[in-house]
Structure 1
Amino acid sequence: MAVGTVARATLWTAVAVHLLVVEYLFIRYGQGKNSVLTVGKFFGLHLASIMMLQLVLVARMPWLDRRIGMDRLTVWHRWIGFGLVATLTLHFTFIIAGYSVLGSDPPWDTFLSLAGVTASLLGMCAAAVILVVASVSLKYVRRRLPYEAWHAIHLLVYVALGIGLVHQALEGTTFDSTWATVYWWSVWALVIGTLLTGRLVVPVWRNLYHRFRVAAVIPESDNVVSVHITGRHLDKLPARAGQFFIWRFPGLHGWWRCNPFSLSAAPNGRSLRLTAKAVGKGSAGLRNLTVGSRVFAEGPYGAFTTIHQTRPASLLIAGGVGITPIRALLEEPGGPTTVLYRVHTPRRPCCCPSCRPSPSRAAPTCTCSPAAPARATRPTCPSHRPTSPPPSRTSSSATSSSVDRRP
């Protein structure tokens, strides 16, 4: 069975088991003061469970990421987010309606009365933050916001998470059973621990341990540049050809700007190489990196690796600078490979000698298909160079100022 299938089955089985346990605990110990409040508590428990799943999907757990891929996990996170908003709306509606029936008061008076209770007010604040984040995550809004602004607003989810946890703790009426309460908070502790480990502890530890630095900056063409990264103990870095890192160059654009770039050469235990086309401020500025400057790298991430290959032969398809992870994959041992590459002009073929394979891999069959033969621009495939960093840096000015295309 494919490793991706096993990972998906494991993830969704764990989710299903948790939901079955929650349903059982709710039926046994989760009754509300009236039937309407019981329904409201039901949606509240599932709202919290959906939030747990959302955090797991973005926790960047290596076991899941290498088998499912950050791109697919992010898509799941986005679509499940719509369910989160719907469940939040239902929870809020039934709680207001339940207390309105219980106190025989109009819904608005009930809302104002609950807003005067600390636990309820915190829940309302958490809900408001989630709705704000959801609204700016709509495609129409997100396309009109700078990435940094959207990302900063999206981080408010963690504020909502903290407020929501305090809300649950102060309410204290989720279950009328000690062991049910222990189970509930144990799952929360596991989820938050996983999130902190994947998003904070592991990246910080790896950067302190490996101490990544820029070793060389090599222009490959007018608008493509390769950056060689060195560090300590890179032979212990669990990176594979086809994966990517989220790179930060604090000395270039500050700490907040980050870019996901794939490795354009298979990791060799001595250095890493990324190759990028200048399509925005972040990627265009790579030419101005200083040799020896510090690098903060999060990763490796991505499931585009040979662990998913189930047959000896493979077909790899790329366009433009998207050839970079394929270029790295061809350095790993493997069977017969066919590469289809969409280029701007056939004047400079990409695969010979650029996509030169590993000595233990059969020579790839490469087909370069021109997208616009009349254009003067050249395909953006990195030329074949040794994967170890050159001894010196070649400087060149940036050539593009278009907006970064980042996920």
Structure 2
Amino acid sequence: MIGGTNFEEAATNGSPNVSAIATPRRISVRGPSARAQRRHSRVVRIVLVAGGVVVLWMWWAGVPSTAAATPSALVTTFGELSGMIAAYLVCAQVLLIARIPWFERAVGLDKLVLWHRTLGTTVVLLVVTHVVAMIVGGELLDRSMPWSELISILQNYPDMLVALLGTIAFIAVGLSSARLLRARLSYEVWYWLHLTTYVAIFLTFLHQLSAGTHFVASPINRAVWLLLYLGTASAVLTWRFILPTANAWRHRMRVESVVRENAGTTSVWFTGPHLDELGVRAGNFLLFRFLSWGHLLTAHPYSVSRVPYDGRLRITVGALGNHSALVRELEPGTLVFVEGPFGHFTADRASRERILLIAGGAGIGPIRALAEELTARGLTPVLIYRAHSAGTLALLDELRALPGLTVIPVVGRRSELGYDPLSPGALGTIIRDLHNWEVFVCGPEGMMLTVEASLRELQVPKRFIHREELSMS
């Protein structure tokens, strides 16, 4: 009972509620880098656009005066442009997820993955456009059939066969990320298929220098292109392989214990040297690679539910797929390699005094860590905990034990409740002045989309709504 109203009863029964929650004492939780982060994010965008402008200039400087003299020349020139832009964007794609610390701090890994995914569609379309335009351009010039022109290109230009293999690999990777097909692939299959991208980049790179007119005739362009690709390869080797491997070996985390919180949720405790030096914050996630059967070949992102303390760290995982379901079968003593931390879903993002936390499913892990940090700072956040049944409310006792945290379990399926407890009307009933609050939400994607739409309808500004997607695909 807070402010004369029982939140738990209101949340479960849909009865009217009050708007008043005791105002916490005034305390600043905004980190010094909040404004700088937005500025750095703009800088990353500017750098990417500037690189594209340089590529356009390289193409334009090498376009012959007869480029538009015939349909064949015009189509071929357009094909060369699409190929150069595609090649540049491939490097940009790789750099976005190369775990470069400055990029991650400036933008956040979740947004970098989103940008990477968006660029992927563009790259595939440009690659297909390049191939089609080059074939059609040659067909118009030689007055031949498309398949005859394709055979002629493969026979008469260097490195074209390997380029064709690389192109097929690019298209296969692009198709695997399409929503319809991605839903039918396991993360493991998708992950290993995506690794072929590095092979595809190498295969297609060779023909750019040996057959590309803008590089064969220009030593400067060749040097710039070599620096671009060598720099990209160096960044990948440094921040995705060498440094993460060295860092993981230094900490050498091991599974201490596995705790089954309920039928679908498992907590894993870890121990290891120098865990406090990982720099993990509440709301961060790490990439975990367990050195055991069923886990060794892939690394998966899991949020931290207890930040490192006394040489121990904890994650809380929902059984959402093959990998996460196998987590509860881990044996104590299993060696773990971790990469990170990543993410901006942290308390430093908050700038208002009234903070609402909304969690569902496995999202309770990072929300629980956030709640602990916020209450330790003297704030009194409110947590709306969404679950289909009381038996799936993992970590509930821990949450209720946090001083200053108000926990509102919202239990039941919509068909049973007769309404959507995350609709604007329901959320507005629980807290009537939500437009004055700052909200952190974590849970299944559908739930987060529903919550965000409801909050916007309740006039909560977008900058006060925080969510982070853990998906690396």
Match of 1:108 among 144, 147, 154: 147
1-structure distance, mates of 2:251, 2:398: 32
Match of 1:368 among 371, 389, 409: 409
**How far off is 1:161 after superposition?**
0.8
Gap regions ≥5 residues in structure 2: 1-33, 68-72, 418-470
CA contact (8 A) 1:243 1:304 kept: yes
User: Equivalent residue of 1:256, what SS?
Assistant: coil
**What are the superposed Cα offsets for residues 305-340 of structure 1, whole Å, 9 maximum, x if unpaired?**
123233344222111331110111223244442222
Code of the residue aligned with 1:283 in structure 2: it is S
**What is the aligned partner in structure 2 of residue 170 from structure 1?**
210
**What is the aligned partner in structure 2 of residue 185 from structure 1?**
226
Is 1:320 equivalent to 2:361 in the alignment? yes
Higher relative contact order (CA 8 A, sep 6+): 2
2-structure distance, mates of 1:146, 1:349: 26
**What is the aligned partner in structure 1 of residue 190 from structure 2?**
150
1-structure distance, mates of 2:306, 2:82: 49
CA contact (8 A) 2:295 2:323 kept: no
Stretch moving more, 338-347 or 179-188? 338-347
**What is the aligned partner in structure 1 of residue 315 from structure 2?**
274
Code of the residue aligned with 2:291 in structure 1: it is P
Question: What aligned pairs does 1:3-402 form with structure 2 within 5 A after superposition?
Answer: 3-31=36-64, 34-116=73-155, 117-171=157-211, 173-175=213-215, 176-268=217-309, 270-332=311-373, 333-334=376-377, 335-345=379-389, 353-354=398-399, 356-357=401-402, 363-372=404-413
**How far off is 1:160 after superposition?**
0.7
**What are the superposed Cα offsets for residues 190-241 of structure 1, whole Å, 9 maximum, x if unpaired?**
2222222232123211111111111222333344332111112222212211
Number of aligned residues:
374
2-structure distance, mates of 1:279, 1:177: 52
CA contact (8 A) 1:349 1:368 kept: no
2-structure distance, mates of 1:76, 1:89: 20
CA contact (8 A) 2:400 2:406 kept: no
CA contact (8 A) 1:266 1:329 kept: no
2-structure distance, mates of 1:317, 1:56: 33
2-structure distance, mates of 1:308, 1:197: 29
What percentage of residue pairs aligned between the two structures are identical?
A: 31
**How far off is 1:304 after superposition?**
1.0
User: Equivalent residue of 1:303, what SS?
Assistant: coil
1-structure distance, mates of 2:354, 2:36: 18
1-structure distance, mates of 2:46, 2:371: 35
**How far off is 1:247 after superposition?**
1.8
1-structure distance, mates of 2:344, 2:238: 20
**What is the aligned partner in structure 1 of residue 428 from structure 2?**
none
**What are the superposed Cα offsets for residues 332-356 of structure 1, whole Å, 9 maximum, x if unpaired?**
2444422221134468796554255
2-structure distance, mates of 1:284, 1:226: 12
CA contact (8 A) 1:263 1:324 kept: yes
Gap regions ≥5 residues in structure 1: 376-404
**What is the aligned partner in structure 1 of residue 468 from structure 2?**
none
Code of the residue aligned with 2:383 in structure 1: it is V
**What are the superposed Cα offsets for residues 356-379 of structure 1, whole Å, 9 maximum, x if unpaired?**
55xxxx71233221124989xxxx
Relative to structure 1, the CA distance from residue 114 to residue 235 in structure 2 (aligned partners, 3 Å threshold; closer, same or farther) is same
1-structure distance, mates of 2:310, 2:244: 18
Relative to structure 1, the CA distance from residue 80 to residue 299 in structure 2 (aligned partners, 3 Å threshold; closer, same or farther) is same
Code of the residue aligned with 1:193 in structure 2: it is S
Relative to structure 1, the CA distance from residue 269 to residue 19 in structure 2 (aligned partners, 3 Å threshold; closer, same or farther) is farther
CA contact (8 A) 1:330 1:355 kept: no
Code of the residue aligned with 2:232 in structure 1: it is V
2-structure distance, mates of 1:349, 1:131: 42
**What is the aligned partner in structure 2 of residue 381 from structure 1?**
none
CA contact (8 A) 2:383 2:406 kept: yes
**How far off is 1:281 after superposition?**
4.0
**How far off is 1:258 after superposition?**
3.9
**How far off is 1:19 after superposition?**
1.4
1-structure distance, mates of 2:390, 2:262: 15
CA contact (8 A) 2:259 2:267 kept: yes
User: Equivalent residue of 1:144, what SS?
Assistant: coil
**How far off is 1:159 after superposition?**
1.4
Relative to structure 1, the CA distance from residue 154 to residue 406 in structure 2 (aligned partners, 3 Å threshold; closer, same or farther) is closer
Relative to structure 1, the CA distance from residue 234 to residue 204 in structure 2 (aligned partners, 3 Å threshold; closer, same or farther) is same
**What is the aligned partner in structure 2 of residue 396 from structure 1?**
none
**What is the aligned partner in structure 2 of residue 400 from structure 1?**
none
**What are the superposed Cα offsets for residues 32-61 of structure 1, whole Å, 9 maximum, x if unpaired?**
874332222111111111211211222223
User: Equivalent residue of 2:309, what SS?
Assistant: coil
2-structure distance, mates of 1:122, 1:262: 41
**How far off is 1:107 after superposition?**
3.2
Relative to structure 1, the CA distance from residue 280 to residue 119 in structure 2 (aligned partners, 3 Å threshold; closer, same or farther) is closer
2-structure distance, mates of 1:338, 1:30: 62
Relative to structure 1, the CA distance from residue 138 to residue 312 in structure 2 (aligned partners, 3 Å threshold; closer, same or farther) is same
Relative to structure 1, the CA distance from residue 7 to residue 313 in structure 2 (aligned partners, 3 Å threshold; closer, same or farther) is farther
Q: RMSD across aligned C-alpha pairs, in angstroms?
A: 2.8
2-structure distance, mates of 1:58, 1:223: 31
Relative to structure 1, the CA distance from residue 281 to residue 79 in structure 2 (aligned partners, 3 Å threshold; closer, same or farther) is closer
**What are the superposed Cα offsets for residues 143-167 of structure 1, whole Å, 9 maximum, x if unpaired?**
2233322222222211111101222
2-structure distance, mates of 1:177, 1:285: 55
